[in-house]
């Protein structure tokens, strides 16, 4: 928490900056992509993690997901690969 406050003060001294993430489709096994350290090991499958191979959103049935950037607070604090449903915004993690 101390580090966060220190950074916050530093940031308020500079002009505002905004960053936009660019969406790029992940080809292949998304779990290998987000957890490369587990690739080839006994990694959980997409069906186990998302309920089925189709990985449908439980709220709206869409199955396109936006992986949150690793700089996102959810990712940094949660320690997992968070994603959002591209249609309704439901957040979950892989």
Which residue, 83 or 85, has its beta carbon nearer to Zn ion?
Answer: 85
Cα separations in angstroms, 28 against 19, 25, 31, 56: 27, 10, 9, 17
**Contacts of Zn ion in 41-60 (CB under 5 A):** 57, 59-60
Shortest reach from residue 48's CB to Zn ion, in Å: 20
66 is a contact residue toward Zn ion (CB under 5 A): no
Q: CB within 8 A of 58, min separation 6: which ones?
A: 51, 90
Report DSSP state, residue 64.
-
63 is a contact residue toward Zn ion (CB under 5 A): no
Which residue, 66 or 90, has its beta carbon nearer to Zn ion?
Answer: 90
């Amino acid at each position: 928490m101390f580090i966060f406050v220190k950074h916050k003060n530093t940031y308020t001294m500079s002009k505002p900056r905004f960053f936009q993430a660019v969406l790029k489709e992940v080809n292949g096994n998304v779990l290998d992509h987000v957890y490369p350290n587990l690739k080839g090991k006994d990694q959980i499958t997409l069906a186990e993690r998302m309920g089925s191979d189709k990985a449908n959103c439980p709220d709206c049935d869409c199955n396109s997901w936006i992986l949150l950037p690793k700089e996102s607070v959810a990712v940094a604090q949660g320690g997992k690969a968070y994603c959002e449903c591209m249609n309704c915004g439901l957040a979950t993690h892989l």
